[in-house]
């Protein structure tokens, strides 16, 4: 059955049935053109909010109608789905929707907190409890594997699990881009799991400390079996925010232990916590926490790739923290605890740059961020970074960036 060559509705339905029998999870098939139309429903539990389960499926499918790859989706009511496109002639002809599932059956306290957050009337709460307890349990990793299998079966196109993880965890649209994270940083320059989860927590922090974002993605995707502590007795959203803030504090320390500049680590921590406090639903908080962990691990990896000795690393961190000040070889030698002449030689051997060239390069990198993310004039930026002669700033900028500050800031260069 080649689904990429004008697959028929009957073939799609047959695929859905086979998939449901294989994975023992609810499956349905939805056409995408001309309208969302549920062709076939698998076995569904009665839903407290939808008399017709097709309405739930349509609302979920609408969020993944154009995606070329499998997508994890969740509702505020703890339901989880994986959406798999069936493609033909370069566009999605149908979606295979696996779900609803749940990460774990909530105990009564967690369930009531969640229903409080969602303002569900008391008379309707028993129905939600019955519904949640009847849903099949599936981890994110299990759903992602099901998605990869269905994608291959439907489209005859292999997809690596690392790709699926990257698409669904690392690039979650609810958080925003790395560029936006950097913009906020440059503009403003112990345990949170229960004892039964200590091993998971240790592995997760080891991934951050060791700069292993790919391994961390796999751990985060398989988080469903881990039970977290309770820090709020009324609101599940507040509970998750409190836990997330604790998690970010621990991750920050792990990132510093892994070699991330302390000032950068704490700037990131403040940014991620501020972002989490602004969120209004549990799913977004969880996604933001995952992104915070991955951000720390990725930045530790970047730092470790520049593996240098402790004195050179101390100099690099000092330079990073004092780009707007006068930096002298004598002061750097004091920071490193070495003779200035020996430090200059060691620094050149390990980085390939003289101290002066390295400082210039880092200042130009800072200047690029300020040009991108502030409205300060080019002259003001040069002065802030210690270039008291405008012509000299332009010359050094062009040497390291390959263009002038004015051309770099030109919005047309990104088109």
Instruction: Share the mean pLDDT of the chain.
Output: 80
Which residues share a beta bridge with 91?
88
CA distance 110 to 163: 33
CA distance 100 to 102: 7
pLDDT at 34: 60
pLDDT at 385: 92
> 90 or 5: which carries more pLDDT confidence?
90
The answer to whether residues 1 and 11 touch, using CB atoms and an 8 Å cutoff, is yes
356 and 291 inside one domain: no
Residue 173: which of 255, 269, 283, 273 has the closest Cα?
Answer: 283
223 and 330 inside one domain: no
pLDDT at 336: 93
Residue 48 placed within a domain: yes
292 and 316 inside one domain: no
Mean pLDDT over 315-339 rounds to: 91
pLDDT at 75: 86
Residue given tokens 């836990």 in the structure block: 243
Torsion angle in degrees (nearest 10) through CA of 180, 186, 191, 192? -30
What percentage of the chain exceeds 70 in pLDDT? 81
Looking at 127, 159, 191, which one is the last position of a domain?
159
pLDDT at 280: 79
The domain total for the chain is 3
pLDDT tens for each residue of 58-67: 888 887 777 8
Helix (H) or strand (E) holding 72: strand 71-74
319 and 286 inside one domain: no
Looking at 159, 186, 205, which one is the last position of a domain?
159
220 and 321 inside one domain: no
Residue 175 placed within a domain: yes
Looking at 305, 330, 348, which one is the last position of a domain?
305
pLDDT tens for each residue of 219-262: 887 654 334 444 445 667 777 888 888 888 889 989 988 888 88
Task: Quote the tokens at residue 167.
Answer: 């698409």
Residue 1 placed within a domain: no
111 and 97 inside one domain: yes
pLDDT tens for each residue of 272-281: 888 888 887 7
In this prediction the pTM is 0.50
> 334 or 107: which carries more pLDDT confidence?
334
356 and 319 inside one domain: yes
Residue given tokens 């100099």 in the structure block: 315
> 319 or 192: which carries more pLDDT confidence?
319
pLDDT tens for each residue of 183-200: 544 444 434 444 446 677
Domain that holds residue 328: 310-414
Residue 318: which of 306, 308, 332 has the closest Cα?
Answer: 332
181 and 245 inside one domain: yes
Helix (H) or strand (E) holding 343: helix 340-351
The answer to whether residues 148 and 72 touch, using CB atoms and an 8 Å cutoff, is no
pLDDT at 180: 47
139 and 181 inside one domain: no
The model's confidence at residue 353, banded by pLDDT at 50, 70 and 90, is: confident
Q: Which residues contact 117 (CB under 8 A, 6 or more apart)?
A: 235, 236, 237, 282
Which residues share a beta bridge with 71?
83
How many angstroms from the chain centroid is the CA of residue 47?
Answer: 31
How many angstroms from the chain centroid is the CA of residue 353?
Answer: 33
Residue 3 placed within a domain: no
105 and 200 inside one domain: no
Helix (H) or strand (E) holding 47: none
127 and 255 inside one domain: no
How many angstroms from the chain centroid is the CA of residue 376?
Answer: 30
pLDDT at 35: 66
Residue 227 placed within a domain: yes
Q: What is the helix, strand, coil percentage profile of the chain, to 5?
A: 60, 10, 30
pLDDT at 258: 84
């Amino acid at each position: 059955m080649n689904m990429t060559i004008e697959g028929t509705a009957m073939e799609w339905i047959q695929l859905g049935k086979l998939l449901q029998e294989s994975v023992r999870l609810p499956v349905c098939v939805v056409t995408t053109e001309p309208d969302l139309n549920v062709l076939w429903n698998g076995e569904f539990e009665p839903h407290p909010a939808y008399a017709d389960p097709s309405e739930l499926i349509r609302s979920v499918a609408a969020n993944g109608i154009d995606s070329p790859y499998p997508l994890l989706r969740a509702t505020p009511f703890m339901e989880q789905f994986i959406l798999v496109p069936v493609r033909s002639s370069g566009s999605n002809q149908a979606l295979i929707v696996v779900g609803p599932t749940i990460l774990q059956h909530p105990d009564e306290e967690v369930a009531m907190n969640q229903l409080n957050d969602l303002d569900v009337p008391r008379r309707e709460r028993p129905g939600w409890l019955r519904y949640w307890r009847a849903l099949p349990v599936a981890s994110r990793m299990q759903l992602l594997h099901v998605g990869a299998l269905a994608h291959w079966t439907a489209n005859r196109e292999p997809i690596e699990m690392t790709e699926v993880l990257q698409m669904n965890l690392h690039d979650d649209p609810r958080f925003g881009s790395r560029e936006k994270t950097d913009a906020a940083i440059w503009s403003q320059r112990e345990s949170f799991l229960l004892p039964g989860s200590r091993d998971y927590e240790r592995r997760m922090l080891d991934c951050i400390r060791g700069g292993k974002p790919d391994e961390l993605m796999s751990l985060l995707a398989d988080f469903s079996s881990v039970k977290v502590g309770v820090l709020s007795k009324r609101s599940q959203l507040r509970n998750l925010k409190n836990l997330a803030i604790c998690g970010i504090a621990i991750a920050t320390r792990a990132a510093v232990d892994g070699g991330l500049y302390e000032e950068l680590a704490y700037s990131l921590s403040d940014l991620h916590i501020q972002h989490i406090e602004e969120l209004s639903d549990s799913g977004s908080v969880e996604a933001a926490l995952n992104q915070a962990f991955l951000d720390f691990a990725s930045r530790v990896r970047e730092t470790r790739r520049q593996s240098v000795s402790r004195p050179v690393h101390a100099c690099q961190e000092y330079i990073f923290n004092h780009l707007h000040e006068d930096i002298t070889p004598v002061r750097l030698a004091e920071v490193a605890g070495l003779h200035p002449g020996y430090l200059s030689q060691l620094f050149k051997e390990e980085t390939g740059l003289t101290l002066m060239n390295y400082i210039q390069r880092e200042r130009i990198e800072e200047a690029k961020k300020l040009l991108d993310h502030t409205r300060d004039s080019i002259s003001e930026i040069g002065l802030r970074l210690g270039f008291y002669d405008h012509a000299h700033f332009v010359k050094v900028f062009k040497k390291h960036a390959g263009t002038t500050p004015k051309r770099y800031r030109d919005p047309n260069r990104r088109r």
